[in-house]
Structure 1
Amino acid sequence: MKYAEDYTIDEIMIVAMAREIKDNDLIFQGITTPLAGAAIMLARETHARNASHLYFLGVNPVMHDISQVMIKPENFLGKVYGLLGINEFWNRQQRGGIDLMFLRPAQIDKWGNANMTLIGDKVKPTIRFSGGVGTADMLVLAQRIVYYAPHHEKKVFVKKIDYITGAGHLENGEWRKKMNIRSQGPTKVISNLAIMNFETENKQMKLESVHPGISIEEVIENTGFELVIPDKVPETEPPIETELKLIREKIDPNNFRKIEMPKHKEAMIEKLTNLQKNLE
């Protein structure tokens, strides 16, 4: 096993997310989340070949280029082993059938509560998003939730979120037990700076590792609440060369993943718009 040396932040995030996937997991990915899609595809190409990928009610899409699949849904719909109806999807959820879900909230607090609804005042918000689209249900029903945040900054990692779209570990970590909720809820947060978990007595967010080249102080400075910091914080394990080769050559040769990264968003939107025109 040889570690890669020229990886980018989006690639270490994808690899870290892929490592959260276990063999035989059923993983749900929402629309327009290419980092999550790439992570699922990577896991299924490597250590979790028996995992199943649920993308917008399609089961196990055969995806070798996430840009073409996500830009042109009709390409995706012709390349699945099966489709779930909306009733079947929620029936599966209520029976605890989804093992893992990746979610990218607009705001996260130290208890893992997620905001995907609005920023600012509830009556006259500064920004209104498309909404939770089942987030409240998924955070209770899916067995594990892994958040990811391409922008690790204080306006994302906030002391108090503006709106709780989905509940994390409320009431000092006692809420899920009190409500007899069997799912684990949020388990990890993977950002462009670090990996966090909720492995504390009261389920408060704790720093697990920092990405190579990132300091603990940098993570603290960009977090709007007090993280639990253990005595020893290791570096995040970097990608290995075979993982990087799969991401760049098979899973995402058009770099669609970079549309979620702050420095590349505008350029990638233009590139993908042109790509979409070529696919028409």
Structure 2
Amino acid sequence: MSNTENKTKVKVEDLNLWYGDNHALHNISVDLFENKITALIGPSGCGKSTFLRCVNRMNDLINSVRIDGEIIIDNKNIYDKDVDEVSVRKRVGMVFQQPNPFPKTIYDNVAYAPLKHGITKKGKECNELVESSLIKAGLWDEVKDKLGQPGTSLSGGQQQRLCIARTIAIKPEVILMDEPTSALDPISTEKIEALMLELKNDYTIVTVTHNMQQAARVADYTAFFHLGKLIEYDKTDIIFVNPGNKKTEDYITGRFG
């Protein structure tokens, strides 16, 4: 794939991952571009979420995992011995499939990590960070009068936007989204998609989706995974209109998966 106009934010080279004896990711090499949305598509169990979790070292939490290869963010391999995984997760935020607000107030959901990491101080500075994060997540107008209520009191779609606000609050550079709309209704899904398109102005976004239409609507680039291998990666319109690989075409046209 030729690419001249984009800056690489995350460079993955020869990434392999094993769960025990199970070789789950095979020699993945890919450049993820700055201020673009990259969608990872492919059948269930093909390695999309496993790959996504490599980018913020979430797989480190699983004892049986062994990882080989490099993931370079801004010229530094995040798997180098001198890199602390907590610092990686500050730069690479994650939004999960099921909205998972903390059992705290709406305000504290957003303020908790920035206060803990010393990104902000209690008081006016923190109030401004909470407000700006909720504005960026498209939620401020709906919650500004109930910041003291539990985050869990919100609707599913609002909870997911609260989780996005919480992610933004630690000022990451990359946002990973693991099927962020699969648990949501169509209206909430539309809001999150619109939000993703807005957020890419400030962040590099990598999203896993089972929804082909969603990938076609929001992603600049699409990567097709199958059986732990990256089969094809290109601009989204090329992948959907003129894929270079028969497997990609079969998956997109619904012949399997």
Provide the TM-score with structure 1 as the length reference. Answer: 0.31
Question: Highest relative contact order (Cα 8 Å, sep 6+), 1 or 2?
Answer: 2
Provide the TM-score with structure 2 as the length reference. Answer: 0.33
From the two aligned structures, give the one with the greater strand fraction. 2
